[in-house]
Homo-oligomer: A and B are copies of this chain.
Amino acid sequence: MPTTVELIRRKRDGQELAPADIAALVEGYTRGDVPDYQMAAFLMAVFLRGLTKAETCALTEAMLHSGAVVDFSHLPVAKVDKHSTGGVGDKTSPALAPIVAAVGVAVPMISGRGLGHTGGTLDKLEAIPGFRTDLSLADFRRQVERIGVALIGQTPEIAPADKKLYALRDVTGTVESIPLITASIMSKKLAEGIDALALDVKFGSGAFMKSQAAAQALADSLTSIGQAMGKRVAARLTDTNQPLGKMVGNALEIAEAQQLLRGEPVPQALRELTLDLAARMLALAGRADAVEDGRRLACDALASGSALTKWQEIIAAQGGDPRVAEDDRRLPQAAHETVVRASQAGRVTAMDTEAIGMAAVVLGAGRLTLDSPIDPAVGFSMEVKLGDCIAAGDALVRIHYNDDARLPEVVRRLSDAIAITAD
């Protein structure tokens, strides 16, 4: 068995490691036998030298098996999930999960919290009074068996190697590596016991991957590793050059997702992305013959109200107040509103979506470290979108806020983030 230093040196020199060696490294690190400093050197070598497909598979497999893997093979229906690489204003999951489950496909969904400029599904769900995302793995399994869908946070049993590796990557400048991102995402998703996975890989000013080419490379890597590990995987790329939909902020986004579930008007981009992902999930699950079929089934679930009913079931099953689903005013409301207005007339030519996300963090809607508290009520309503022609004094963003002191900084950031060009 090669020593840890030998494995670091081999990767440093661009050699391919054997799957058993990668497994030993991950197991040793998870147990604490391989120290952080050796793993840090290895991660930097991987960052700069890359991993082959076989190595990425081995890493994913080792991280997956560092913890519990849920088994849903006894369920007669297909199990499908969706993963997004993170956007601003992306509230598709709370709409998508009930739509797909209403059509009869199981959705065992383990989501994350917001960090930095991107929001997180868990924070949004927890804006619903009483809603619990910290179910045990046993309760998660029982709920999926009973109502076909559950939305929870990563439990300590799932992929502990990923938790430890992610924390180390964060402080060693080794986050933005396609094979490391792939293994991190896929190890957690495959632990859910799914048969198939729809991927929404973001690009643009609000995304981790700024260029479409980088997003495509990540999508290809995720698809290829997922398929190599025996899952059906489909990926789409989504532009994040402006927030998705109108609302940014936890309760505000739940309200917008519910508007979609209730069949009320929502921005076209949000509705399109949600239906497209639902259609892909249904096709992957074999519930629809093709994506077009899946889209029709998803539209039917919205039109018939069955998706909204499923959403109410989810809320009730996870301890929340199901009356929220029909009444957005039961969600936390910010005490104050103010409007950021255009200082000149012109066309909205660009948005720095990441900066808008960071303005939401400053407002209290997001967090910079995983233990900072968030305010579920605060956020933005985007009053313009890219390409809009506006007059001086027109509303750009409505801010829903509780804390006066944060407002000047938030307004400054929002004003800087929206480019208006005189025609």
Contact = CB atoms under 8 A, between A and B. Distances in A.
Interface of A: 4-6, 8-9, 12, 35-41, 43-45, 47-49, 168, 170-174
* Residue of A35, A48, A172 with most partner-chain B CB within 10 A: A172
A41 B5 contact: no
Given A45-B48, A48-B49, A8 B168 contact: no
Nearest to A4: B171
Contact of A41 (B9, B12, B40, B49): B40
A171 B5 contact: yes
Nearest to A41: B172
Contact of A37 (B6, B12, B37): B37
A186 B372 CA distance: 45
A124 to B, nearest CB: 28
Contacts of A44: 8, 12, 40-41, 44-45, 48
Contact of A173 (B35, B45, B173): B45
Contact of A168 (B37, B39, B47): B37
* Residue of A37, A40, A43, A173 with most partner-chain B CB within 10 A: A173
How many of these chains are in the complex? Answer: 2
Contacts of A170: 5
Contacts of A5: 170-173
A161 to B, nearest CB: 16
A4 to B, nearest CB: 8
A48 B41 CA distance: 11
A280 to B, nearest CB: 34
Given A38-B171, A41-B174, A45-B173, 17 more contacts: A5-B171, A9-B173, A12-B44, A12-B48, A12-B173, A12-B174, A36-B40, A37-B39, A37-B172, A38-B40, A38-B172, A40-B41, A40-B172, A41-B41, A44-B45, A44-B48, A48-B48
Contacts of A174: 12, 41
Contacts of A168: 37
B8 A172 contact: yes
Contacts of A41: 40-41, 43-44, 172-174
Contacts of A38: 40, 171-172
Contacts of A12: 44, 47-48, 173-174
Contacts of A47: 12
B171 A37 contact: yes
Nearest to A168: B37
Contact of A36 (B4, B9, B36, B43): B36
A45 B41 CA distance: 8
A401 B174 CA distance: 51
Nearest to A36: B37
* Residue of A44, A45, A170 with most partner-chain B CB within 10 A: A44
Contacts of A49: 48
15 contacts: A5-B171, A5-B172, A6-B173, A8-B44, A8-B173, A9-B173, A12-B44, A35-B37, A36-B36, A36-B37, A37-B37, A37-B171, A38-B172, A41-B172, A44-B48
A166 to B, nearest CB: 13
